[in-house]
Homo-oligomer: A and B are copies of this chain.
């Protein structure tokens, strides 16, 4: 009989706990090259579920899917100095094909603004139709110094949306709209509460005018930038000389946006919801919503029949499930189900069969329910909804309880040391932000909007200069 592997506890070593969970839950294996991973079926299924939901929103917004090349030529790189500076040390560079040296280096996309700019230029020259709203589901590669599965990989999967508009306001509003959708998606599907806002000058995307971000709190109180939308202004359009003709037939430079979310969210799901027994999936994104565990089914064929009956009901209710019909011991089966994170498990032994009874256990709080099989569909749906709501609530309370408002440098340092998210009045320079990072390890996550759910005062005194400001910035240690 198999024995379960041990998962490190979160308090003992959070980083090790995370890796234990994602490997034992069969989300991934390490790849052969630093920072790469094999997405195993369960890990990839999470991504497929994310894609399905997010893509449906894009289709509704008349955003069209495309696929653009992985390879970027040398001359594109030279066009966009500011943008490329941000990515230069991470660029994977192809210099050879077979035995032959290339005349010009080719780069693997770290993101595709340059390619979309090139495409937009040709399309607009041909058709002069704006806006164009495109998206691609693909991967990008960045050679990061420190890698962490899902959170920071050399290669990761994402969607990158790119739009181009005649109007500056329209473009900026569009980026904001996407950021609002990201917040909605994280909160309503992944049960991850976020703080959203604009990035500071220092933290914004290389080449953007504004970056809108959604920031989540992990169980170790670190921030994870979970998705971003950028208003690019005319930065790329100018360098690529993109022009459209307005109604007066005058050449104008259009405005662009870009926005993305990635497989990093798989890491977020794990680090926000899971516990020392393993993964806990929010029902709406769970690859498998119900584990059906057969006990003693080898000696008792009726257990198997009962399991099939349950499976049929779940299938009709469009609830995903998996039957564990192996010969492993009960303890192993329960443990295995807990590790893999199905929100609900149903345990079937001879007693359940005899009484036509369901024994249902919630993964998140181990609450047990007993009821007649006739109630299965209804009960299951309700409990899944309840789990979804409870996971969000738990994470939201954690976020609120661990976010503090400070008015001085001392309070700031103390709060960061205590692993808090810190909100401070702040209207200072990027250099000052860097100092803060060097001193405390915390970075500016975002400038809070006026309508933030934190009851902010109208103004405060910026924590270094004491200057009066109405800008409040969220700081935290982050991934």
Contacts and interface: CB of A to CB of B under 8 A. Distances in A.
Interface in A58-77: 64-73, 76
A291 to B, nearest CB: 17
Interface in A13-60: 29, 31-33, 36-41, 44-45, 47-48
A397 interface: no
Given A68-B31, A73-B32, A92 B97 contact: yes
Contacts of A478: none
Given A32-B115, A122-B29, A143-B97, A40 B66 contact: yes
Given A88-B98, A94-B92, A94-B108, A39 B68 contact: yes
A261 to B, nearest CB: 16
A119 B89 contact: no
Given A44-B65, A157-B67, A98 B143 contact: yes
A241 to B, nearest CB: 15
Q: Which of A38, A41, A48, A157 has the most CB of B within 10 A?
A: A38
Contacts of A69: 31-33, 36-38, 155
Interface string A118-134: 11001100000000001
Number of identical monomers bound together in the oligomeric complex: 2
A91 interface: yes
A105 to B, nearest CB: 8
A65 to B, nearest CB: 5
A91 B97 contact: yes
Nearest to A73: B32
A300 interface: no
A90 interface: yes
A95 interface: yes
A39 B69 CA distance: 9
Nearest to A67: B39
A154 interface: yes
Contacts of A67: 38-39, 44, 47, 157
A96 interface: yes
Contacts of A422: none
B66 A38 contact: yes
A73 B38 CA distance: 14
A141 interface: yes
Interface string A133-163: 0100001010100000000001101000000
Nearest to A96: B93
Nearest to A98: B89
A253 interface: no
B32 A70 contact: no
Interface string A100-127: 0000011010000001001100110000
A70 B139 CA distance: 9
A73 B33 contact: yes
A72 B29 contact: no
A108 B65 CA distance: 24
Interface in A185-227: none
A430 B94 CA distance: 35
A66 B92 CA distance: 24
Contacts of A71: 31-33, 36, 141, 154-155
Contacts of A48: 65
Contacts of A38: 66-69, 115, 119
A123 B31 CA distance: 13
A169 to B, nearest CB: 25
Given A38-B68, A97-B143, 11 more contacts: A32-B69, A36-B70, A38-B66, A38-B69, A71-B155, A89-B97, A90-B98, A92-B97, A93-B94, A93-B98, A95-B95
26 contacts: A31-B71, A32-B76, A32-B118, A33-B106, A36-B70, A38-B67, A38-B119, A40-B66, A41-B66, A44-B65, A44-B66, A67-B157, A69-B155, A70-B70, A71-B154, A71-B155, A91-B97, A92-B96, A92-B97, A92-B106, A93-B95, A94-B95, A94-B108, A95-B95, A95-B96, A108-B108
Which 7 pairs of residues, A with B, have the shortest CB-CB distance? A41-B64, A36-B69, A39-B67, A93-B96, A89-B98, A97-B143, A31-B69
